[in-house]
A = this chain, B = another copy of it.
Amino acid sequence: MSMKAVVFRGPFDIAVEDHPRPKILDPTDAIVRVRYAGICGSELHMYRGHQKTGTRHIMGHEFVGVVEEVGSDVSLFSSGDEVVSIFSAVCMKCWFCRRGLTNRCVQGTAFGTQLLDGGQAEYARVPFADGTLQPVPSDLDRRLLIMMCDIFPTGYYAASQAIQSLKTQSESRLTTLKESVVVCLGCGPVGICAIVTARSKGVGTIFAIDGVVDRLKEAENLGAIPLLLGRDDVKARVLAATENRGADAVIELVGNTSALQSAFELLRPCGVLSSIGFHQGSLPFTGLDCYLKNINAHFGRVPVRTVFHDALQCLRENQAQLKDYITHELPLSEAAVGYHLFEQRKARKVILRVSE
């Protein structure tokens, strides 16, 4: 049997094609009939050709839907269950998974890659379904649910990590989160989620930094102070708000050397750098810089499975604020248009409607 699927044919070349429907390969697999699939910012690395990869795989690591079929070892889900999939399969049995470090699952495989077909299709095969799938709460907007696959947990983690690290350092408890100044560097979809989280957890002052006016407008609506790159004197503004100390924490979501350099410069001594951006270059600060600033730094990808529950709670509580978050809902057949709009920054977030 065949189905429609978004296939990667090369940079700037994706197309909806007929593709064989996936089958159960392992007893821990499930097949999910997809309702909505999202286009994620991290797919643009591949789309733009920056991330080298083969072709012909199905795109997409954000998808929600209904369980169609399960393998014999799947015990938590059965046919007909509404589910959300996290962006990377997690075995839940390895040393890392058992300790909550699901971002380092030794069998972890991201959807939408050469190793595992993605969810921008009518059906998707989900390995380790008991770990990779999550049940769907009844009180969350079904379109917003797509945010739980990757971007909301990622933004939630970036902000939470910064906040937790700040909390452990304040021995005297003199600085409350209300008094803290946190910078969010990069206000794309994940940045917006980080801002929602930081606000929700009680951070008093959040600076939102980006070069795109529309993103800053959304950040401002969520309670952040917008600073436009190229127009505002970012450093002067942050210093002015902190008696010249610098920000208590910087959440860095851009993924290039200049962003990391700004993040470092904006931090106060003993501040916290929470870096989620996917960096290619060298670090723009020396060992002496780190020593002299007493920096605390956390790098890398979110353990979605581990933060899922808390992140979902946060998204539920703040869903009203995110009603304008998804700007484009297109049928699966128009996936190429969706990629184009998103790549051109003409859409904040695009989701593809696959089935009812």
Interface residues of A (CB under 8 A from B): 95-96, 98-101, 103-104, 164, 168-172, 174-175, 243, 245, 257, 260, 269-270, 275, 277-283, 285-288, 290-301, 306
CB distance from A95 to the nearest CB of B (A): 7
Q: Which residue of A243, A293, A298 has the most chain B CB atoms within 10 A of its CB atom?
A: A298
Judge whether A172 and B300 touch: CB under 8 Å: no
Instruction: Say yes or no: A293-B287 contact (C-beta < 8 A), given A95-B243, A100-B170, A169-B101.
Output: no
Residue of B nearest to A100 (CB): B171
Complex CA distance for A288 and B300, rounded to whole angstroms:
9
Residues of B within 8 Å of A279, CB to CB, are 286-288, 290-291
Residues of B within 8 Å of A260, CB to CB, are 287
Judge whether B283 and A287 touch: CB under 8 Å: yes
Instruction: Say yes or no: A292-B300 contact (C-beta < 8 A), given A99-B175, A101-B270, A175-B99.
Output: yes
Residues of B within 8 Å of A270, CB to CB, are 96, 101, 103-104, 300
Residue of B nearest to A285 (CB): B283
Residues of B within 8 Å of A277, CB to CB, are 287, 291
Complex CA distance for A264 and B298, rounded to whole angstroms:
14
Residues of B within 8 Å of A164, CB to CB, are 168
Complex CA distance for A101 and B245, rounded to whole angstroms:
13
Judge whether B269 and A290 touch: CB under 8 Å: no
Q: A278-B291, A281-B287, A293-B300 are in contact. List 14 more A-B contacts (CB 8 A).
A: A99-B169, A99-B171, A101-B169, A101-B270, A275-B287, A279-B286, A281-B286, A282-B286, A283-B287, A290-B297, A292-B300, A293-B299, A294-B300, A295-B297
Could you name 29 residue pairs across A and B whose Cβ atoms are closer than 8 Å? Answer: A96-B269, A98-B174, A99-B170, A101-B169, A101-B270, A101-B294, A103-B270, A104-B270, A164-B168, A168-B168, A171-B306, A270-B300, A275-B291, A279-B288, A280-B286, A280-B287, A280-B288, A281-B288, A282-B282, A283-B285, A287-B299, A291-B300, A292-B300, A294-B300, A295-B298, A295-B300, A296-B298, A297-B297, A297-B298
Instruction: Say yes or no: A283-B278 contact (C-beta < 8 A), given A95-B245, A101-B270, A170-B99.
Output: no
Residue of B nearest to A242 (CB): B95
Judge whether B290 and A99 touch: CB under 8 Å: no
Complex CA distance for A104 and B299, rounded to whole angstroms:
24
